[in-house]
Structure 1
Amino acid sequence: MTQKTRSQRHQKQATPRRPLTMALPLAGAAMMVTPMVVDVSQQVSADEVGYSQAQQLINQIGPSASQIADQYDLYASVMIAQALLESGNGGSTLSSAPYYNLFGVKEYHGGPSVWLSTQEYLNGQWVTMSEPFRQYNSYYESLVDHANVLVSQGAMTGQPRYAGSFKRNAPSYYEATAALTGRYATDPTYGQKLNWLIQNYQLTQYDTGSSYVEATPVVEETATQSAQAAVQTTSGTTYTVVEGDSLWSIAQKYNVSLDDLIAKNNISGNLIVVGQQLTL
């Protein structure tokens, strides 16, 4: 089965990642009327199935996307729309169990993966090729990894590649999707597709107020967890990951470089789990 992915994606620092494409209804398109009788029941049924499938995925990931996006200063509506677009409304093989890869993330670092055929948009045309795609244990892991990619810093500039999509920089999701177009994806209509999905499925209901505070990431943890999180050892400082943590928030909290944190702990794909010990 062919897995369509987007035309430009970044893994960790510079690995390309690509999304699925999606056909959108043409605004103002007229229906050609002919003398013949046309049975539209099959088309209506197919449309209903597609809508139902998309809504099912939205119901599954919406609450988690809202929580994660708020923590990372992102628009949940944009994140969910990207998941719908790149997973074919949740119907692609890659986005289904046991892979749970909603965003077509590639795996080039030896982690759990599956090889699938993919269509890449190269030099103005679609080319079919086989690529290794990352495998997750849940949709939640896929969403967290995606958020980490959006806030990750470029190796050369030291600045977030997709800062234009952050809430503090984008007054609305329109500006966020525009900032991703031509940068996260080379498809010139990428933002239009995301906007259509956001409007059609009313995804702004999952957006919340920005929780971003300069140099003070929001990390939900109990007093006990906070006291036990950072521990001095003979070799340096270690940190125990708690629920709600991200590599970005930990790096900001302890004033360390995100790249250094990833390198010191040999982290692949920016994934961390609760209880994991990190060297600071």
Structure 2
Amino acid sequence: MIKKIALLLLISLVLSCNSSKSVTKKTSKSKTTAIKKKPAPVFVKTQPKDSPKPIITPRSEVELEATSKVRTYDDEIRFYISDFSEIAKNNMRTHGIPASITLAQGILESGAGKGKLAQSANNHFGIKCHTGWTGESVKHDDDAAQECFRKYVHASESYRDHSLFLTSRSRYASLFKLDKGDYEAWAKGLKAAGYATDVKYPAKLIGIIERYNLYDYDNEVLSRNFAIAKKDPAVELAAGNYTVQQGDTLYSLSKKFNITVDELKKMNNLSDNAINVGQKIKTK
């Protein structure tokens, strides 16, 4: 009996020890799993509420009127000049047409390459098919609906054809008697010879040439140093002349010079209210 009791006590003691070890192990494991690594802090840069906003300078927009109205930007016009100035100078050397006139016409007629004809036909001068044209063509609304215009593979071909167009037609012969450096006379001569029907065509060309100093390319070909003499705006205004600036309208000028819009249009032979940057306006 005593042996049985002793055996029971021994079994009880063994079981008690195993139970204690099991609890300790679980506790240890529990502590291990409970320890978690803290994530690294994330720092987010925020702009102070009172910090100044970045200044965005608006692009200078220019409206060009040719076979259709095209809105383009000053920097686009300068890129256009950079792309085609060498071609214009080479054509001047070969055919005698001032590079300034060629570039100004290209800018005006094609909207600095953004016009429909320039995009669809590489036609930068609005040259129509006319009798004898055997190349490709496109239809485009101009003086009449769906007129035939020449189509070129490359824009450079349009520049070459422009020179050939002027040199091969008798009605433009008077142009080649003019001084190659006199862009004003050439601009007026083109209108007189019937290149364009727009009465403001010469003023538009001259305005583009003087705004972008296109006469510099004539200088390179002619080896001269011509430059426009800077005029005192106060003297010009006193003489009743004003050069149109970006943002001017006939209405704003009428208020500025205390004159009606109709009077301005009459003095300047304007058929509508459209004016262009660089255009000379009589104010009295």
Which structure carries more helix by proportion? Answer: 2
Query: Normalising to structure 1: TM-score of the pair?
Result: 0.50
Query: Normalising to structure 2: TM-score of the pair?
Result: 0.49
Higher relative contact order (CA 8 A, sep 6+): 1
Q: Max radius of gyration: which structure?
A: 2
Which structure carries more strand by proportion? Answer: 1
